Amino acid sequence: MKHLDEYRDPHLAGKLIDKIKALSRRPVRLMEVCGTHTVSIFRSGIRSLLPPSITLLSGPGCPVCVTATEELDKFIKLGRQKDTIVATFGDLVRVPGSSSSLQKERADGADIRVVYSTFDALDIARRNPSRTVVFLAVGFETTAPTIAAAVKEAKKEGINNFYIIPAHKIIPPAMEALLAGGELAIDGFICPGHVSVIIGADAYRPVADKYHIPCVVAGFEPVDILQTIYMLLSQIEEGKAAVEIQYRRAVNFTGNEKALALLSEVFETCDAPWRGLGSIPDSGLRLRDNYRALDIETKFDLTVPRTQDHPGCSCGDILRGVKTPLDCALYRKVCTPSNPYGPCMVSTEGTCAAYYKYHD
């Protein structure tokens, strides 16, 4: 198919690998921030084709994986409210909270429905006027505008049984938090493609300028990723730390103005909890006053007791790039995709799930 096949050409990939090998002189560590990149890198076998001087690290780029346990516990508590329908993207259903998961709650009678789009959740609300319908609003900047569109539509149409629980996360502050932690040396960022469609590549300038780290926005096909690695290496060799775009067919520097306008009409930034990274200032989104009534927490008290992650699960360290799943004692032995202990094994974009499927 157009815009996919040409970027999957194995011959072209081979040429790019030769160019990368010719350029690579010293050890570098590149982090792919986005979970879709992680999967694409594993699936295409890129890791095994790169010279040993290049290490690829997976970062905090899977929305389900970075959702904090306290947020999951709230979702679970929500499912127990009377006359409530919880609408969610499928990935969240199996993620364990402190002591349960949405899947277990569903088995116990909670009405939890998987939807493909926020507008499907809105339809459920239209068809069930006597029940409260709540959409679990997780996701990065790619997804947040679609939720803003649904919120705006609900208000416009006066659908007064539709709510959301805002749990969005914003990527650039998390990249800064990783660097500010100083735990990890990163020489370059493979920046997320579809987050950048919305926010534009300029959003990474603070990271590039303040920490002197090259940032290149990448597409998702093997050839896109290899070209991105080549662009990062070129910058590293020249001592530059610029923001560049490889994924030019979809991304520009300023972003999608229409989506950004909708986002800022409906949401404002707030501090947010990240698994593994703790609370990061201005890294989340909450509804503005004008839309605040659609936040389910204005209706139900969803405060939860202190949360508990599974002891032994290293998802937090994996999301910060300081451990790989191979460093986790539970990996493969007891923690598997059919019996996941942490979110990184549940989500198809989670690093543990990607290792399980593709790493031998």
Select from ligand SF4, another protein, none the partner in contact with residue 344, using the beta carbon and a kind-dependent cut-off of 5 to 8 Å. ligand SF4
Which residues here bind another protein, judged by CB under 8 A?
A: 1-4, 6, 9, 12, 15-16, 19, 34-36, 61-64, 89, 91, 116-120, 138-140, 142-143, 145-146, 148-149, 192-195, 197-198, 223, 227, 246, 248-250, 256-259, 262, 347, 349
Provide the minimum distance between the beta carbon of 306 and another protein in the complex, in angstroms, as a whole number: 27
Provide the minimum distance between the beta carbon of 142 and another protein in the complex, in angstroms, as a whole number: 4
Provide the minimum distance between the beta carbon of 215 and another protein in the complex, in angstroms, as a whole number: 17
Cβ-based neighbour number of residue 205 at 10 Å: 14
Closest to ligand SF4 by CB, 19 vs 310, is 310
Closest to ligand SF4 by CB, 207 vs 354, is 354
- Measured CA to CA, the distance from residue 140 to residue 252 in angstroms comes to 18
- Measured CA to CA, the distance from residue 357 to residue 354 in angstroms comes to 5
Closest to another protein by CB, 34 vs 165, is 34
Q: Who's near 35: CB < 8 A, 6+ residues apart?
A: 58, 61, 62, 63, 65, 347, 349, 350, 351
Provide the minimum distance between the beta carbon of 199 and another protein in the complex, in angstroms, as a whole number: 12
Which residues here bind ligand SF4, judged by CB under 6 A?
A: 313-315, 318, 325, 328, 330-331, 335, 340-342, 344-345, 352
Closest to another protein by CB, 38 vs 101, is 38
- What Cα–Cα distance (Å) separates residue 91 from each residue in 63, 136, 257, 302? 9, 11, 29, 22
- Measured CA to CA, the distance from residue 176 to residue 180 in angstroms comes to 6
Select from another protein, ligand SF4, none the partner in contact with residue 257, using the beta carbon and a kind-dependent cut-off of 5 to 8 Å. another protein
Select from another protein, ligand SF4, none the partner in contact with residue 328, using the beta carbon and a kind-dependent cut-off of 5 to 8 Å. ligand SF4
Closest to ligand SF4 by CB, 245 vs 345, is 345
Provide the minimum distance between the beta carbon of 30 and another protein in the complex, in angstroms, as a whole number: 19
Identify whether the C-beta of residue 342 lies closer than 8 Å to the C-beta of residue 96.
Answer: yes
Closest to another protein by CB, 118 vs 314, is 118
